[in-house]
Amino acid sequence: MKTFIYTFFAVILLVSGCSEERLEPDPLSFFSPENTLNDKAGLEAVIVTMNLRLRSEYAQRENHHLMGEWNYSDMSVNGAPPNDIVHNMELQMTPNSTEDREVSAYWNLAWQAIKDANIVVSRVDLIEASDEDKNELLAQGYFGRAYWYYRLVHQFGDVPLILEEINTPRLDFYSHSRETILEKITEDLEFAVQWLPENVLPGEVNRAAGSFLLTKCYLALREFDKAIAEASRVIDGGQYALMTERFGTTESQFLEYSFLDPSSFDVIWDLHQKNNKSLPENTEGILVVQDQHLTEGNVSDGGTAKMRDYVPVWWQARDPSGTRACTDLDFGTGLRMIEQLGRGVGRMVPSQFLRDLRLEDPNDLRYSQNNWFGMERYIYNDPNSAFFEQPFDPASVTDIRQWYPIAYSKMVYIDETGNTRPDRASSDEYVFRLAELYLLRAEAHWWNGNIANATADVNVVRARAQAMPVATVDIDYIFDERARELYTETPRKSELTRVAYIMAQTGTNGYSLASMHESNWFYDRVISRNNFYRDEILQGSNIYRIRPYHVYWPIKEEEIRANSLGHINQAMGYPGSETNIEPLTDPFQTKPGL
């Protein structure tokens, strides 16, 4: 929020230091809001910018934001050892800490996008356009605002609800309750799904994306029947279907790698190849952010660093003699691991539980030879080593980030820039795809007590992966299946927090909203699944540690102090939360008593 609070202060300070003569108009440019945002084209340009914020989440050069959603959850941790990498959340995720970069990054990104959305919402009635065009523009603004408020309330809890464009400096914001925000964005999305277009260009928001987000909001508000109906509109609507047959293209450069079997490529492989995600024949992709190599507006022509972030530091591995026995050089041996795996730095190390999911079903395509690179396949590749071509020795691995499995088909892309240490490339990325919607509907059925239908929806996703059907499911199994299907793709922490919030609101399993910072399903799930946090494993100079109040992230103290004429509540459990006041419960209320 600091982003748009301080924009105008910067202008004021610049003007106050100028002479009267320099304040005279100098029409070097006429690109002012009044001149550019007064017609449909101007607001469409703002919508393009707003939608680009989605790409910022999925397509950072390095340390991309989405990793925080997984590393601060039940399924992985950041394996990098430096002291400025969050391991101990009790010490390193606080209102005044700087190590938790994803926390500040998400806060700023969300408010930037909400600013864009509010420009559209506030100005749509001021332009000359048909009612139909205005409604479609408004729907786009509502979606953008709802997307990021949904994330904010499941990352930070109570936050200010801002529903209009801010064009003067303000320091008087007050927090609204999560429930109030969820109710408002749900109402907005109900309007949006009536007016969002059904067919759009790749990267744009369509009606199915609106229904997808609305399904999540209905779940958060415990409107389970509505969640089922909204998800079913897309699942049963005829336009979307899970991909069950091979499609698209298989890139030729993959075929030279010894560990890939071209005869065993499958639909899961095709689904996650960068050139296939936005194809018209891909009926599974609902919202896909665009980031193509050598196209205007992409992250950079170096691409995003998924290979670098997700892959182990295999090249530091030592053999049983203690000698470094892996190399990122090409000796022409056919063991060119630097090109096969990329030069990783281990920023997303999977928990033991996630590794063990593979063992449950040997037929699951998600863990097939081409789609999953298991730990048994790492070998010493330096010809100078006495252990050349032998598999890694567990007793010789001294760092958790040196050796772990990776979902190869999802995260590794061959270098496009001629980099001798390939670790990045451009790729479109799924934001919403149909498999997740099946699992959201399964969850809604489970909350309703319809275990048979919940199990059926989970088994649809499993059947596509040729996994054995499961006899029955509960909420934990549904989230296990989300890990199998959606690993690295979706905002994991936010969805876990959503379930914890539902349980606290409904009193399920003894949880309560009043004591959510002391006891919640999110924390219990993390401790039961993530061995790094459960066992407080040491990495570098810090242990991995999480506490129940980390169900929400802290709002930075500098943001709270800057809002000197209002009051932004701190998430419960963090220093500063003792001064919280009752959050606003009217979406249009701007301060207590009004």
| CATH number of residue 134's parent domain | 1.25.40.390
Q: Are residues 8 and 116 in the same domain?
A: yes
The per-residue pLDDT for range 128-171, each reduced to its tens digit, is 999 999 999 999 999 999 999 999 999 999 999 999 999 888 99
End-to-end CA distance of the chain: 22
Is 179 inside any structural domain? yes
Please tell me whether residues 22 and 121 are part of one structural domain: yes
Examine the domain organization and report whether 170 and 29 are in the same domain: yes
The reply to whether 223 falls in a domain is no
Mapped onto helix, strand or coil, the DSSP state of residue 283 is coil
In 3D space, the residue among 49, 240, 35 whose CA is nearest the CA of residue 144 turns out to be 49
Domain residues for the domain of 176 are 2-204+551-566
* Sign of the alpha-carbon torsion through 360, 407, 209, 143: positive
Task: From residue 314, give the alpha-carbon distance in Å to each of 340, 368, 432.
Answer: 12, 21, 32
Q: For residues 70 and 487, give the distance between their C-alpha atoms in angstroms, rounded to a whole number.
A: 9
Which helix (DSSP H) or strand (DSSP E) does residue 506 occupy? helix 492-506
pLDDT reported for residue 21: 38
Query: What are 330-388's pLDDT values in tens digits?
Result: 555 545 677 778 888 999 999 999 999 999 999 999 999 889 999 999 999 888 899 99
> Are 200 and 301 contained in the same domain?
no
Per-residue pLDDT band at 308 (split at 50, 70, 90):
confident
pLDDT number for residue 255: 52
Task: Tell me: do 195 and 323 sit in the same domain.
Answer: no
Rounded mean pLDDT of 464-484? Answer: 98
Please report whether residue 517 resides in a domain.
no
How distant is the alpha carbon of residue 590 from its chain centre? 30
Q: Which of 411, 427, 443 is the last residue of a domain?
A: 427
For residue 439, tell me if it sits in a domain.
no
Question: Which residues sit opposite 373 in a β-bridge?
Answer: 406
**Residue at 192 is within a domain:** yes
Are 46 and 177 in a shared domain?
Answer: yes
Task: Work out how many domains the chain is built from and give that number.
Answer: 2
183-218: per-residue pLDDT in tens? 999 999 999 999 999 999 999 999 999 999 999 999
Flag whether pLDDT at 594 surpasses 50. Answer: yes
**Residues 196, 308 within the same domain:** no
Residue 27 lies in a domain: yes
Is residue 196 in a domain?
Answer: yes
Domain for residue 454, yes or no?
no
Residue 181: is its pLDDT beyond 50? yes
